[in-house]
Chain A
Amino acid sequence: MTDGAKSALPSLISRQEKEILDDWVKLQLSSETHRSDLVTERDVRNESQRFLEAMRTAIAGGSDIRTPEWNDVKSLLTELSQSRARQGFSPSETATFVLSLKQPLFARIRTDFAKDPGALADATWAATTLLDKLGLLTMEVYQKGREGVIQRQQEELLELSTPVVRLWDNVVAVPLIGTLDSARTQVVMENLLQEIVNLGAAIAIIDITGVPTVDTLVAQHLLKAVAAARLMGADCIISGIRPQIAQTIVHLGVDLGDVVTKATLADAFALALKRNGLTVTKVSAVSTAS
Protein backbone atom coordinates (compact mmCIF):
# COMPACT_ATOMS: atom_id res chain seq x y z
CA MET A 1 0.00 0.00 0.00
CA THR A 2 1.37 3.42 -0.89
CA ASP A 3 2.02 6.03 1.71
CA GLY A 4 -0.27 8.32 -0.21
CA ALA A 5 -3.25 6.06 0.31
CA LYS A 6 -2.35 5.50 3.96
CA SER A 7 -2.25 9.17 4.79
CA ALA A 8 -5.19 9.86 2.54
CA LEU A 9 -7.73 8.54 4.99
CA PRO A 10 -6.91 10.82 7.94
CA SER A 11 -6.71 13.92 5.79
CA LEU A 12 -9.92 13.00 4.01
CA ILE A 13 -11.79 12.56 7.24
CA SER A 14 -10.52 15.78 8.74
CA ARG A 15 -11.26 17.74 5.59
CA GLN A 16 -14.76 16.51 5.02
CA GLU A 17 -15.82 15.56 8.54
CA LYS A 18 -18.98 17.65 8.38
CA GLU A 19 -20.21 16.17 5.12
CA ILE A 20 -19.41 12.60 6.12
CA LEU A 21 -21.24 13.09 9.38
CA ASP A 22 -24.32 14.50 7.66
CA ASP A 23 -24.46 11.65 5.17
CA TRP A 24 -23.79 9.06 7.83
CA VAL A 25 -26.51 10.28 10.17
CA LYS A 26 -28.96 10.50 7.28
CA LEU A 27 -28.10 6.96 6.28
CA GLN A 28 -28.53 5.63 9.81
CA LEU A 29 -31.87 7.32 10.22
CA SER A 30 -33.22 6.07 6.92
CA SER A 31 -31.86 2.54 7.30
CA GLU A 32 -34.37 -0.17 8.12
CA THR A 33 -32.41 -1.16 11.21
CA HIS A 34 -32.92 2.28 12.76
CA ARG A 35 -34.90 2.01 16.00
CA SER A 36 -36.73 5.31 16.29
CA ASP A 37 -38.53 3.90 19.33
CA LEU A 38 -35.28 3.47 21.28
CA VAL A 39 -33.02 6.35 20.18
CA THR A 40 -33.81 9.88 19.05
CA GLU A 41 -32.30 11.59 16.02
CA ARG A 42 -30.29 13.85 18.30
CA ASP A 43 -28.74 10.91 20.11
CA VAL A 44 -27.72 9.34 16.83
CA ARG A 45 -26.17 12.62 15.69
CA ASN A 46 -24.34 13.12 18.99
CA GLU A 47 -22.99 9.60 19.10
CA SER A 48 -21.91 9.74 15.46
CA GLN A 49 -20.21 13.07 15.92
CA ARG A 50 -18.31 11.92 19.00
CA PHE A 51 -17.27 8.76 17.25
CA LEU A 52 -16.08 10.55 14.14
CA GLU A 53 -14.10 13.07 16.17
CA ALA A 54 -12.44 10.34 18.19
CA MET A 55 -11.69 8.43 15.01
CA ARG A 56 -10.16 11.47 13.33
CA THR A 57 -7.73 11.91 16.23
CA ALA A 58 -6.94 8.22 16.41
CA ILE A 59 -6.40 7.58 12.73
CA ALA A 60 -3.71 10.26 12.56
CA GLY A 61 -1.54 7.90 14.63
CA GLY A 62 -2.05 4.94 12.29
CA SER A 63 -4.79 2.50 11.47
CA ASP A 64 -3.75 -0.25 13.90
CA ILE A 65 -6.55 -0.30 16.46
CA ARG A 66 -4.37 -2.04 19.03
CA THR A 67 -2.33 1.12 19.60
CA PRO A 68 -3.21 3.34 22.58
CA GLU A 69 -4.34 6.13 20.25
CA TRP A 70 -7.44 4.10 19.53
CA ASN A 71 -8.42 3.66 23.18
CA ASP A 72 -10.86 6.58 23.00
CA VAL A 73 -12.62 5.16 19.99
CA LYS A 74 -12.76 1.72 21.53
CA SER A 75 -14.14 2.90 24.85
CA LEU A 76 -16.74 4.94 22.99
CA LEU A 77 -17.81 1.89 20.98
CA THR A 78 -17.78 -0.31 24.07
CA GLU A 79 -20.04 2.08 25.92
CA LEU A 80 -22.35 2.40 22.95
CA SER A 81 -22.77 -1.28 22.26
CA GLN A 82 -23.16 -2.16 25.95
CA SER A 83 -25.94 0.37 26.36
CA ARG A 84 -27.58 -0.83 23.16
CA ALA A 85 -27.38 -4.44 24.31
CA ARG A 86 -29.17 -3.46 27.49
CA GLN A 87 -31.78 -1.43 25.63
CA GLY A 88 -32.67 -4.46 23.55
CA PHE A 89 -31.12 -3.68 20.17
CA SER A 90 -30.59 -6.67 17.92
CA PRO A 91 -27.00 -7.58 16.96
CA SER A 92 -27.35 -6.27 13.40
CA GLU A 93 -28.92 -3.05 14.60
CA THR A 94 -25.93 -2.52 16.85
CA ALA A 95 -23.35 -3.38 14.23
CA THR A 96 -24.98 -1.14 11.64
CA PHE A 97 -23.78 1.89 13.59
CA VAL A 98 -20.17 1.34 12.55
CA LEU A 99 -20.74 -0.48 9.29
CA SER A 100 -23.01 2.18 7.86
CA LEU A 101 -20.09 4.60 7.96
CA LYS A 102 -18.65 2.73 5.00
CA GLN A 103 -20.95 4.15 2.39
CA PRO A 104 -20.39 7.89 3.01
CA LEU A 105 -16.68 7.29 3.50
CA PHE A 106 -16.32 5.29 0.31
CA ALA A 107 -18.25 7.90 -1.65
CA ARG A 108 -15.77 10.57 -0.53
CA ILE A 109 -12.81 8.33 -1.32
CA ARG A 110 -14.21 7.73 -4.76
CA THR A 111 -14.54 11.41 -5.63
CA ASP A 112 -11.09 12.13 -4.18
CA PHE A 113 -9.24 9.43 -6.09
CA ALA A 114 -11.32 9.48 -9.25
CA LYS A 115 -8.23 9.84 -11.37
CA ASP A 116 -6.10 7.13 -9.71
CA PRO A 117 -7.78 3.69 -9.64
CA GLY A 118 -4.80 2.09 -7.82
CA ALA A 119 -4.90 4.57 -4.96
CA LEU A 120 -8.70 4.33 -4.89
CA ALA A 121 -8.54 0.58 -4.34
CA ASP A 122 -5.85 0.98 -1.68
CA ALA A 123 -7.74 3.62 0.25
CA THR A 124 -10.98 1.65 0.05
CA TRP A 125 -9.23 -1.43 1.29
CA ALA A 126 -7.66 0.45 4.21
CA ALA A 127 -11.00 1.93 5.17
CA THR A 128 -12.89 -1.32 4.92
CA THR A 129 -10.44 -3.33 7.04
CA LEU A 130 -10.48 -0.63 9.68
CA LEU A 131 -14.25 -0.42 9.86
CA ASP A 132 -14.58 -4.21 9.86
CA LYS A 133 -12.27 -4.41 12.85
CA LEU A 134 -14.30 -1.82 14.67
CA GLY A 135 -17.48 -3.66 13.73
CA LEU A 136 -16.13 -6.90 15.15
CA LEU A 137 -15.17 -5.11 18.33
CA THR A 138 -18.72 -3.80 18.61
CA MET A 139 -20.13 -7.29 18.24
CA GLU A 140 -17.77 -8.74 20.80
CA VAL A 141 -18.74 -6.17 23.39
CA TYR A 142 -22.40 -6.56 22.49
CA GLN A 143 -22.18 -10.30 23.10
CA LYS A 144 -20.44 -9.80 26.40
CA GLY A 145 -23.12 -7.35 27.46
CA ARG A 146 -25.84 -9.86 26.62
CA GLU A 147 -24.02 -12.66 28.38
CA GLY A 148 -23.76 -10.47 31.46
CA VAL A 149 -27.51 -9.94 31.38
CA ILE A 150 -28.16 -13.66 31.07
CA GLN A 151 -25.82 -14.52 33.92
CA ARG A 152 -27.38 -11.94 36.20
CA GLN A 153 -30.82 -13.29 35.43
CA GLN A 154 -29.67 -16.81 36.18
CA GLU A 155 -28.37 -15.77 39.57
CA GLU A 156 -31.56 -13.92 40.34
CA LEU A 157 -33.61 -16.96 39.37
CA LEU A 158 -31.54 -19.11 41.67
CA GLU A 159 -32.24 -16.82 44.59
CA LEU A 160 -35.89 -16.28 43.77
CA SER A 161 -36.98 -19.78 43.16
CA THR A 162 -36.04 -21.60 46.33
CA PRO A 163 -38.25 -20.42 49.16
CA VAL A 164 -39.03 -22.68 52.09
CA VAL A 165 -42.44 -21.92 53.58
CA ARG A 166 -43.84 -22.96 56.92
CA LEU A 167 -47.30 -24.46 56.49
CA TRP A 168 -48.00 -25.42 60.07
CA ASP A 169 -46.17 -26.27 63.26
CA ASN A 170 -43.64 -28.94 62.31
CA VAL A 171 -44.57 -28.77 58.63
CA VAL A 172 -42.54 -26.96 55.96
CA ALA A 173 -42.96 -26.98 52.19
CA VAL A 174 -40.66 -26.22 49.25
CA PRO A 175 -42.55 -25.33 46.09
CA LEU A 176 -40.08 -26.04 43.29
CA ILE A 177 -40.52 -24.15 40.04
CA GLY A 178 -38.40 -24.67 36.93
CA THR A 179 -35.84 -27.22 35.92
CA LEU A 180 -33.78 -28.83 38.65
CA ASP A 181 -30.05 -29.00 38.01
CA SER A 182 -27.23 -29.87 40.36
CA ALA A 183 -26.57 -26.28 41.41
CA ARG A 184 -30.21 -25.61 42.19
CA THR A 185 -30.69 -28.86 44.03
CA GLN A 186 -27.75 -27.97 46.19
CA VAL A 187 -29.28 -24.58 47.06
CA VAL A 188 -32.73 -26.09 47.64
CA MET A 189 -31.28 -28.82 49.82
CA GLU A 190 -29.27 -26.40 51.93
CA ASN A 191 -32.22 -24.04 52.38
CA LEU A 192 -34.57 -26.87 53.22
CA LEU A 193 -32.26 -28.45 55.79
CA GLN A 194 -31.52 -25.09 57.39
CA GLU A 195 -35.22 -24.32 57.71
CA ILE A 196 -35.88 -27.76 59.15
CA VAL A 197 -33.40 -26.91 61.90
CA ASN A 198 -34.68 -23.36 62.38
CA LEU A 199 -38.35 -24.29 62.60
CA GLY A 200 -37.89 -27.70 64.14
CA ALA A 201 -39.96 -29.25 61.37
CA ALA A 202 -40.73 -32.95 61.41
CA ILE A 203 -42.34 -33.12 57.99
CA ALA A 204 -41.10 -31.51 54.78
CA ILE A 205 -43.23 -31.40 51.64
CA ILE A 206 -41.39 -31.03 48.33
CA ASP A 207 -43.87 -29.83 45.75
CA ILE A 208 -42.79 -30.38 42.14
CA THR A 209 -45.89 -29.02 40.40
CA GLY A 210 -43.71 -26.39 38.73
CA VAL A 211 -41.01 -28.77 37.56
CA PRO A 212 -41.60 -29.27 33.83
CA THR A 213 -39.79 -32.56 33.37
CA VAL A 214 -38.40 -35.24 35.62
CA ASP A 215 -35.59 -37.31 34.20
CA THR A 216 -33.30 -39.72 35.97
CA LEU A 217 -30.97 -36.93 37.05
CA VAL A 218 -33.74 -34.80 38.54
CA ALA A 219 -35.17 -37.83 40.30
CA GLN A 220 -31.77 -38.60 41.73
CA HIS A 221 -31.44 -35.02 42.97
CA LEU A 222 -34.85 -35.24 44.61
CA LEU A 223 -33.98 -38.50 46.28
CA LYS A 224 -30.79 -36.96 47.62
CA ALA A 225 -32.72 -34.12 49.17
CA VAL A 226 -35.17 -36.57 50.69
CA ALA A 227 -32.37 -38.73 52.08
CA ALA A 228 -30.63 -35.71 53.60
CA ALA A 229 -33.85 -34.51 55.22
CA ARG A 230 -34.44 -37.98 56.61
CA LEU A 231 -30.96 -38.02 58.13
CA MET A 232 -31.87 -34.82 59.95
CA GLY A 233 -34.94 -36.53 61.36
CA ALA A 234 -37.61 -35.06 59.10
CA ASP A 235 -39.94 -37.07 56.90
CA CYS A 236 -40.32 -35.98 53.30
CA ILE A 237 -43.39 -36.08 51.13
CA ILE A 238 -43.09 -35.41 47.41
CA SER A 239 -46.24 -33.87 45.98
CA GLY A 240 -47.51 -32.35 42.78
CA ILE A 241 -46.58 -35.22 40.51
CA ARG A 242 -48.49 -34.79 37.28
CA PRO A 243 -49.77 -37.85 35.40
CA GLN A 244 -47.23 -37.43 32.59
CA ILE A 245 -44.42 -37.21 35.10
CA ALA A 246 -45.63 -40.32 36.89
CA GLN A 247 -45.54 -42.11 33.53
CA THR A 248 -42.06 -40.83 32.78
CA ILE A 249 -40.76 -41.94 36.16
CA VAL A 250 -42.08 -45.45 35.65
CA HIS A 251 -40.86 -45.65 32.03
CA LEU A 252 -37.40 -44.54 33.08
CA GLY A 253 -37.38 -47.20 35.75
CA VAL A 254 -36.61 -44.71 38.50
CA ASP A 255 -37.07 -46.25 41.91
CA LEU A 256 -38.43 -43.69 44.33
CA GLY A 257 -37.97 -46.24 47.10
CA ASP A 258 -40.06 -45.75 50.20
CA VAL A 259 -40.55 -42.03 49.64
CA VAL A 260 -44.14 -41.02 50.24
CA THR A 261 -45.64 -39.37 47.14
CA LYS A 262 -48.93 -37.54 46.77
CA ALA A 263 -50.69 -36.18 43.70
CA THR A 264 -51.33 -32.69 45.06
CA LEU A 265 -49.95 -30.40 47.70
CA ALA A 266 -53.35 -30.51 49.46
CA ASP A 267 -53.14 -34.29 49.83
CA ALA A 268 -49.62 -34.02 51.18
CA PHE A 269 -50.67 -31.35 53.65
CA ALA A 270 -53.60 -33.45 54.82
CA LEU A 271 -51.25 -36.35 55.43
CA ALA A 272 -48.85 -34.09 57.31
CA LEU A 273 -51.65 -32.85 59.58
CA LYS A 274 -52.81 -36.40 60.17
CA ARG A 275 -49.32 -37.45 61.21
CA ASN A 276 -49.30 -34.55 63.66
CA GLY A 277 -52.57 -35.83 65.07
CA LEU A 278 -54.58 -32.91 63.71
CA THR A 279 -57.81 -32.85 61.74
CA VAL A 280 -59.55 -30.11 59.81
CA THR A 281 -63.22 -29.60 60.74
CA LYS A 282 -65.92 -27.17 59.68
CA VAL A 283 -66.67 -24.47 62.24
CA SER A 284 -70.41 -25.20 62.16
CA ALA A 285 -69.84 -28.85 62.96
CA VAL A 286 -67.77 -27.90 65.98
CA SER A 287 -70.30 -25.37 67.30
CA THR A 288 -73.26 -27.75 66.97
CA ALA A 289 -71.30 -30.46 68.71
CA SER A 290 -70.50 -28.30 71.71
Chain B
Amino acid sequence: MGRYLLVTIQVDMHDRLAMALQDDLMEQIRRHKAEGVLIDISALDLVDSFIGRMLGNIAAMARILDADTVVTGMRPAVAITLVELGLSLTGVRTALNVERGMELLETAREERETGDGRSQG
Protein backbone atom coordinates (compact mmCIF):
# COMPACT_ATOMS: atom_id res chain seq x y z
CA MET B 1 0.00 0.00 0.00
CA GLY B 2 1.92 3.00 -1.28
CA ARG B 3 4.92 3.63 0.88
CA TYR B 4 3.79 1.22 3.52
CA LEU B 5 3.86 -2.53 3.92
CA LEU B 6 0.82 -4.30 5.33
CA VAL B 7 1.27 -7.66 7.04
CA THR B 8 -1.70 -9.56 8.36
CA ILE B 9 -1.13 -12.62 10.49
CA GLN B 10 -3.94 -15.07 9.84
CA VAL B 11 -2.65 -18.35 11.23
CA ASP B 12 -1.28 -19.42 14.56
CA MET B 13 2.32 -18.34 14.67
CA HIS B 14 4.92 -20.90 15.43
CA ASP B 15 8.56 -20.12 15.93
CA ARG B 16 9.87 -21.00 12.50
CA LEU B 17 7.06 -19.13 10.76
CA ALA B 18 7.84 -16.10 12.88
CA MET B 19 11.50 -16.20 11.90
CA ALA B 20 10.56 -16.57 8.23
CA LEU B 21 8.24 -13.59 8.53
CA GLN B 22 10.99 -11.54 10.11
CA ASP B 23 13.48 -12.33 7.31
CA ASP B 24 10.91 -11.82 4.61
CA LEU B 25 9.75 -8.51 6.02
CA MET B 26 13.24 -7.05 6.20
CA GLU B 27 13.86 -8.08 2.63
CA GLN B 28 10.61 -6.46 1.50
CA ILE B 29 11.36 -3.22 3.35
CA ARG B 30 14.66 -2.97 1.57
CA ARG B 31 13.24 -3.85 -1.84
CA HIS B 32 10.25 -1.50 -1.73
CA LYS B 33 12.00 1.24 0.23
CA ALA B 34 9.05 1.10 2.60
CA GLU B 35 8.61 3.90 5.10
CA GLY B 36 6.29 2.08 7.38
CA VAL B 37 5.22 -1.44 8.33
CA LEU B 38 1.76 -2.23 9.63
CA ILE B 39 1.33 -5.61 11.30
CA ASP B 40 -2.29 -6.58 11.85
CA ILE B 41 -2.68 -9.31 14.46
CA SER B 42 -6.45 -9.16 14.90
CA ALA B 43 -6.74 -12.82 13.92
CA LEU B 44 -4.05 -13.90 16.36
CA ASP B 45 -5.46 -15.24 19.60
CA LEU B 46 -2.45 -17.05 20.98
CA VAL B 47 0.91 -15.52 21.80
CA ASP B 48 3.95 -16.68 23.65
CA SER B 49 7.02 -14.84 24.81
CA PHE B 50 8.83 -15.68 21.58
CA ILE B 51 6.21 -14.05 19.36
CA GLY B 52 6.09 -11.06 21.69
CA ARG B 53 9.85 -10.64 21.49
CA MET B 54 9.75 -11.10 17.74
CA LEU B 55 7.30 -8.23 17.36
CA GLY B 56 9.64 -6.04 19.36
CA ASN B 57 12.60 -7.19 17.25
CA ILE B 58 10.82 -6.46 13.98
CA ALA B 59 10.09 -2.93 15.17
CA ALA B 60 13.71 -2.37 16.18
CA MET B 61 15.04 -3.78 12.90
CA ALA B 62 12.59 -1.76 10.83
CA ARG B 63 13.63 1.33 12.73
CA ILE B 64 17.22 0.72 11.64
CA LEU B 65 16.03 0.40 8.05
CA ASP B 66 14.23 3.73 8.55
CA ALA B 67 10.67 2.43 8.68
CA ASP B 68 8.05 2.89 11.39
CA THR B 69 6.20 -0.12 12.75
CA VAL B 70 2.61 -0.15 13.94
CA VAL B 71 0.95 -3.21 15.49
CA THR B 72 -2.83 -3.15 15.17
CA GLY B 73 -5.88 -5.06 16.27
CA MET B 74 -4.42 -6.78 19.30
CA ARG B 75 -7.04 -8.72 21.20
CA PRO B 76 -7.63 -8.06 24.92
CA ALA B 77 -6.54 -11.57 25.90
CA VAL B 78 -3.34 -11.21 23.89
CA ALA B 79 -2.62 -7.82 25.45
CA ILE B 80 -3.10 -9.20 28.96
CA THR B 81 -0.88 -12.18 28.21
CA LEU B 82 1.93 -9.99 26.87
CA VAL B 83 1.76 -7.73 29.92
CA GLU B 84 1.79 -10.70 32.26
CA LEU B 85 4.82 -12.02 30.39
CA GLY B 86 6.50 -8.70 31.06
CA LEU B 87 6.62 -7.72 27.40
CA SER B 88 5.06 -4.30 27.08
CA LEU B 89 6.63 -3.75 23.62
CA THR B 90 8.05 -0.34 24.36
CA GLY B 91 9.05 1.30 21.13
CA VAL B 92 6.31 -0.35 19.14
CA ARG B 93 3.41 1.86 18.15
CA THR B 94 -0.02 0.35 18.49
CA ALA B 95 -3.46 1.14 17.11
CA LEU B 96 -6.92 -0.30 17.49
CA ASN B 97 -7.51 -1.16 13.83
CA VAL B 98 -5.81 -0.97 10.46
CA GLU B 99 -7.40 2.35 9.60
CA ARG B 100 -6.14 4.04 12.74
CA GLY B 101 -2.79 2.34 12.22
CA MET B 102 -2.47 3.93 8.79
CA GLU B 103 -3.30 7.35 10.24
CA LEU B 104 -0.66 6.80 12.86
CA LEU B 105 1.94 5.94 10.21
CA GLU B 106 1.02 9.09 8.28
CA THR B 107 1.38 11.36 11.29
CA ALA B 108 4.58 9.64 12.36
CA ARG B 109 6.01 10.19 8.91
CA GLU B 110 4.97 13.85 8.89
CA GLU B 111 6.45 14.35 12.32
CA ARG B 112 9.70 12.92 11.21
CA GLU B 113 9.79 14.97 8.03
CA THR B 114 9.13 18.22 9.85
CA GLY B 115 11.72 17.12 12.36
CA ASP B 116 9.53 18.45 15.10
CA GLY B 117 8.33 15.22 16.63
CA ARG B 118 5.68 16.99 18.65
CA SER B 119 3.17 18.30 16.11
CA GLN B 120 -0.55 18.23 16.84
CA GLY B 121 -2.23 15.11 15.49
Contact = CB atoms under 8 A, between A and B. Distances in A.
A227 B96 contact: no
Interface string A224-235: 100111111110
Q: For this complex, into which size category does the number of interface residues on chain A fall? A: 20 to 34
A149 interface: no
B100 to A, nearest CB: 7
A227 B85 CA distance: 12
Contact of A231 (B79, B100, B101): B79
Interface in A187-242: 189-190, 193-194, 196-197, 200-202, 224, 227-234
A202 B88 CA distance: 18
B69 interface: no
A228 B72 contact: no
**Which of B78, B80, B89, B120 is most buried by chain A, counting CB atoms within 10 A of its CB?**
B80
Contacts, number: 57
A228 B83 contact: yes
Given A193-B80, A197-B76, A231 B96 contact: no
Overall SS of chain B's interface: mixed
A275 interface: yes
B97 A200 contact: yes
A256 to B, nearest CB: 13
19 contacts: A189-B80, A190-B76, A190-B80, A194-B76, A196-B76, A197-B96, A200-B97, A224-B83, A227-B83, A231-B88, A232-B74, A232-B96, A233-B74, A233-B94, A233-B97, A233-B100, A275-B121, A277-B120, A277-B121
Interface of B: 71-76, 78-80, 82-84, 88-89, 94-97, 100-101, 120-121
